[in-house]
Structure 1
Amino acid sequence: MGLVQEFKDFAIKGNVVELAVAVIIGKAFGDIVNSLVADVITPLLLNPAMKVAGAENIKELAWNGVTYGNFISSIINFLCIAIVLFLMIKGINKMKKPAEAAPAGPSSTDALLMEIRDSLKK
Structure 2
Amino acid sequence: MTTAAMGEPGIPPMPERTPKALREAIVQHAPQLLPDFDAHWKRYVADAYDITTVPAFMARWWGEYAIARDPELDAHVTALEHRAAHECTDAAEAKALLEEASNIRHMAARTEPGQ
TM-score, with normalisation over the residues of structure 2? 0.32
TM-score, with normalisation over the residues of structure 1? 0.30
More helix as a share of residues: 1
Q: Which has the larger radius of gyration?
A: 1
Specify which structure has the bigger relative contact order, considering alpha-carbon pairs within 8 angstroms and separated by 6 or more residues. Answer: 2
